[in-house]
Structures are given as structure tokens and as C-alpha cells.
Amino acid sequence: MTTEQEHTLRTVHQVTAERSNGALLSATQPYPDTLHLVVDKKAMRSVADGLVNQLQARFLISVGTDRRPLSGDFGIIHIFSLDRDHLYVLLESPIPEDDLRVDSITPVVPGADWAEREFQDAVGVHPEGHPDPRRLLLPDDWPEGIHPLRRDFPYNFRPPSVENVRPKMREAPTGTSVLPMGPFFPVLEEPAYWRLFVEGETIVGCDTRLFYNHRGIEKLGDSVLTYSQIPFLAERICGICGFIHSTCYCQAVEKAAGIQVPRRARYIRTIMLELERIHSHLLWLGIAGHIIGFETVLMQTWRIREPVMWLCEAISGNRKTYGMNTIGGLRRDLPDEVRPELLNTLATVEKETIAVRDAIIGDSVLRARTEGVGILTSESARSVCVVGPPARASGVAIDARIDHPYAAYDEVPPRIVTQETGDTWARVVVRVGELVESIRLVREALSALPVGPICAEITEEIPPGKVGISVVEAPRGEAIHFVMTGGDNRPYRWRVRAPTYANLQALPAAVMHGTIADVPITLGSLDPCFSCTERLETIDQRTRTVRIYSRAELLEMSRGNRLRGGAR
């Protein structure tokens, strides 16, 4: 621990003591980089205010936990990051069962908006004084008073559905008309509903309804699956950055259980994470082109991207969803034979990416469509707690690879790419810069790849009641996994926050006073991440016959007789 960190820790203690006004219940340091504060719930808002507005801590996410079987109460944890000092601060309050209310911190930390609405839906703790306490993730026909993440809620319970319910949306201000975008809209790959309030072509406000595809993954993690099964589910959280989620989950458990991951595994994780960033950024660049009608960019970047997918297939056996991560390291080594192919592909991709970059930078029409469009000021990026390229394009120099180093990033550090203007063009420039930087990182990690085991020997049970938090810099920004270990070989609570969760909250600010024509590209420039997996194709290696499984067949295979008739 450096002296700077010690100094910061002292300041945190000091501010907490002042702000909590005697309501501080305990302050511990479970890991060198984590400070765990427990305060009485009446001091929650004041301490959060002190952390964010006095110490410039960044709000990450909130976790609501039903701890009735353990300690007879509920727990709300707000997680903060002190980026420069590489520290996490966990701010926890016990919530007694007979008074399920806590002061909302959203009035002092606007970025906590969705996080607080989410624990209200999931465990039923009401954030008092929240400016917009509407339902966030439960379906509109979900009955009141049923909270799916409570321990007494069975994972396979389905409340009866109700026809013709509509989301509670805000009324359009007088003098404006409503232009709906969604729930199905050409540039949205997944259902999402934006109500744009427009005067002519100008946007004067908007309202959203999301989470149409909420899959209840956290619930499965703490009720059905085991520690070592979850990485496979975590990888399926996202169809593009799956490896990021499985890595992030494994790291959280490894931290909670005190498992040391071998150096070679950490390097291979770094290589796979950066390959994922390369193909994700190329994919994004194509989609951004498509959104403004520039199909040539889409076609060419996806052509450049394809060899990267082949490379991932050569390494892991799959284009996507590699299934390589496990707790303690990896299940599959990086074969030495792919090394020449890897270097060749990187060289080609680098050359072609630079050609595309130069073409884009010289394109005056493209710049006319993106410069000064969808501006996210540095202040609003900070206040809404935006992450990843949108944050860096607004001059907020945060990057989980540097702020909370993991895998091998302490030994192969990335160079951070930032821009100051905060417009769509800046977000393009940041991502294209990161693309080239990622290629360098893969090369560097590959040349320094150590030999040795790829997975730690785990001899002891994972102890219950431990807390692990891990962040991974996904292509879209920082993904967060929080794990509280449980006794039955599975987490007691597993909390996931994908980066888009933070970034989408910035859209209303970014589209304000722009035109209808600018909304799709502004939304696209936040790179909202959607996943969709409906079918499976298998190829028999010997006979080369292809078989495609339908959704019904997959359901039959995965659920079998267990749920027949029970599932819809």
C-alpha cells in the first residue's frame, strides 16, 4: 500500500466520521484495495454525498441483498471507486425487515438512479426521496409486492400474466408531440422503448422503458447453479463481450476465496480480452456506419473483423462464447501452433484498420454528421457515472485496466485514449484509437507469455460470507461483478452490472436539443450491447454434415422432462 493510498484512506475515514455523525457501525478493510463501511441507514445519503462530492469517488453500483436467513434483515450496499488510488469503498446499511426503506442517494449521486430502482424491484427496499421511483426491470404485468431476488421466491415461479398493461410513461410536455422509438426499431437490435418529445425535428425531452429481455441470470446464480457452472452462464450474458463477464465473475470469486491465478492464465485472459475488444470495436464501427446510412463502412469493417473470429475459433473452438474461464484460471491453454496465425491476422487487421481510420478521418460528410452531435459534457458524464469510451471521449480518463489492474494489465499496461469534446465524433476517435492500441497489447502479451500451469489447484472449500468485487474494462466500459459467497457451493448473492447500464442513463442528456436525425447515431455511439442467441449449428468433423437445432429442440435438450408443460 502506497503512502498516497494510506493518506486517502485516512481522509475517507475522516469524511465518513464527520458525515455519519456517530452512525458509523463498523469500518473494515477486507482486502488492501477495499474499504467496507457499515453505517446506520439514516446516515447513508450524507456519507454518499461526502464520498462523491467531497472526495470525488465514482459511484459504481448498488447491491440489495435479502439476508433474512443469515441475520434477519436486508442489506443495501452502494459501491464506489476511488480511481486514482485504486480503491473500492463499499457503503453498507442494514435494513430491518419491518421498515424496508432507505434514504435514496440519487438526489446527491444522479448516477445511482437505476441502481436504486433496481433494488426496489428486486428485493423490495424502497429508496425514499428518489426523484423517479417507477418500476425499472420487472415486467409491467408483474404483481406488486413480489420481489424475485428475495430468498423465499423460487427461481422458477411465474406469476400469472395480464393482458393489455402499458408501461407508466411520462406525459409529453405541452406543445410537443411524441415520436416513439421502439420497442422494435431498425437500429435497436433488442427491444427498448424511447419516447421522444419533439418540437418539429428538435428533441426537447425523452422517456424510456427498457429491460424487456431481463433473463433473471442473477437469480439462477444464487439458487440453481454452482460456483464453477456460473462462468458458462456469465459468458452468455453478452453475445459480444462474453469472455469479459466470465473473467469478471471468476475474478470476483477468486478474490473472495483468496485464490492466486497462475501468471500464464492471467496473460491468456488478457489476450482473449483484447481480442474481444478488437472484434467488438470493429463490429461497432460497422454498425455506426450503418446507422448513418454508410453501408460501405459496415461491409468493410465486418470483412476485416471476420479473421479475428476465425482466430478465436482456432484458439478456443468457438467464434464466440469460448468457455475457457474457470475459477482459478483457464480450462484451455493457448496452443503454440496458433501463434503464427495470430501474428499474421493481427498484422492484416492492423493494416486494414489503419486504412479505415484514415478514410474515416478524411471524410468530411461523416464528420459533418458526428461533430458536435450528441454532446455529453464532462460534468454530465461524471454525474451520470458514464464509463468506457463515452466517458473517455468526454475527458473523463477512467479505465478499469489502469484504475483497478487485473489479469496481466499490471505488467502490460494499456495507453489510455481520451478526447475532450464529448461528441459522437470524439467517441468514434476514441474507439478507433483503442482498436490500434489493443492490437499492440495482444502482441506484447503474446511475446511476454510465460510458461507454467494455467489453473490454480483449489483444495479448500470457498468460505461463506466473503465479499468479492471485480471490474473488467469491456469494449463498452467497465463491467462489474460482485459476489457474496454462500455455504452451498454457490454464491449467496451475485450482482452483475454491464457497462451499457451506466451509459444508457446518459442518453437523455446527450440527445437533448438535438434533432431526430441525430438520435440513432447518438444512441449508437454509446454502443448499447444486446445479445441474442436463438439457435445452434453443429458440424460433424468427420462427415462435414451440418445440423441446425431449432429453439424447440434446444429447449427439449436443455430442460427435458423437467419442465415440460411447466414452461410456456
Partner 1 sequence: MTQSFAVLLQCLLNVAIALLLSPLYEGVLRKVRAAIHSRIGPPITQPYWDLLKLLGKEDLRSRGGAVYASLPPLVLGSLLLLATLVPMGAAAPLSFAGDMIAVLYVAAMSSVLVMLNAFASGSPYAYVGSSREMMMALSVEPILAIALTVGAFKAGTLALGGMLAFQVQNGPSISMTIAGLAFFLALQAQSGKLPFDIAEADQEIMGGPLVEQSGPRLALLRWAMWTKQLVLAFLLVEVFLPWPRFGILPADLAASGVKVLVVLLLVEVVDVVNPRLRIDQAMGYYVRVALSSLSALAFAVIGK
Which residues would be at the binding site for partner 1 (CB under 8 A)? Answer: 177-180, 185-187, 200-201, 289-297, 299-300, 303, 363, 365-366, 368-369, 515-520
Q: Minimum distance between the CB of residue 372 and partner 1, rounded to whole angstroms?
A: 11
Residues with Cβ within 8 Å of residue 564, at least 6 apart in sequence: none
Select 293 or 465, whichever has its Cβ closest to partner 1. Answer: 293
CA distance 53 to 255: 29
Among 51, 60, 71, smallest CA distance to 9 is for 51
Nearer to partner 1, 286 or 491 (CB): 286
Q: Is there a cis peptide before residue 183, judged by omega within 30 degrees of 0?
A: yes
Gap between the Cα atoms of 510 and 519, Å rounded? 9
Shortest distance (Å) from residue 289 CB to partner 1 = 7
Tell me how far, at minimum, the Cβ of 364 lies from partner 1, in Å: 10
CB of 10 to partner 1, least distance (A): 53
Complex with partner 1: residue 338 or 516, whichever CB lies closer: 516
* Other residues' Cβ atoms within 10 Å of the Cβ of residue 546: 9
Least distance CB 531 / partner 1 (angstroms): 21
Helices (H) and strands (E) in the chain, counts: 19, 17
- Minimum distance, C-beta of residue 363 to partner 1, in the bound complex (Å): 8
Residue 198 CB, shortest distance to partner 1, in Å, is: 8
Nearer to partner 1, 181 or 225 (CB): 181
Minimum Å gap between C-beta 369 and partner 1 is 5
3-state per-residue secondary structure call for 24-53: EEEEEEEECCEEEEEECHHHHHHHHHHHHH
Sign of the dihedral through C-alpha 200, 290, 191, 239: negative
Name 126's bridge partners.
101
- Lateral strand order in the sheet of 73-82: 24-31, 34-39, 87-96, 73-82, 58-67
Residue 172 or 314 having the CB closest to partner 1: 172
DSSP, res 239: S
352/437 with CB nearer partner 1: 352
Q: Residues 357-393, buried b or exposed e (16+ Cβ, 10 A)?
A: beebeeeeebeebbeebbbbebebbbbbbbbbbbbbb
The widest CA-to-CA distance across the chain, in whole angstroms, is: 73
Cβ neighbour number for residue 464 with a 10 Å cutoff: 14
Q: Which is nearer to partner 1, 425 or 482 (CB)?
A: 425
Pick 47 or 356: Cβ nearer partner 1: 356
C-alpha distances in Å from residue 352, one per residue of 287, 306, 435: 17, 12, 11
| DSSP conformational letter for 262 | P
- The cell numbers describing 351, all together, are 493494416
Closest approach, Cβ 209 to partner 1, in A, equals 18
**Of 122 and 521, which has the nearer Cβ to partner 1?**
521
Instruction: In angstroms, give the least distance from the CB of 173 to partner 1.
Output: 16
CB 472 within 8 A of CB 247: yes
Question: Could you identify the residue written with the cell 462530492?
Answer: 53
Closer to partner 1 at the Cβ: 348 or 515?
515
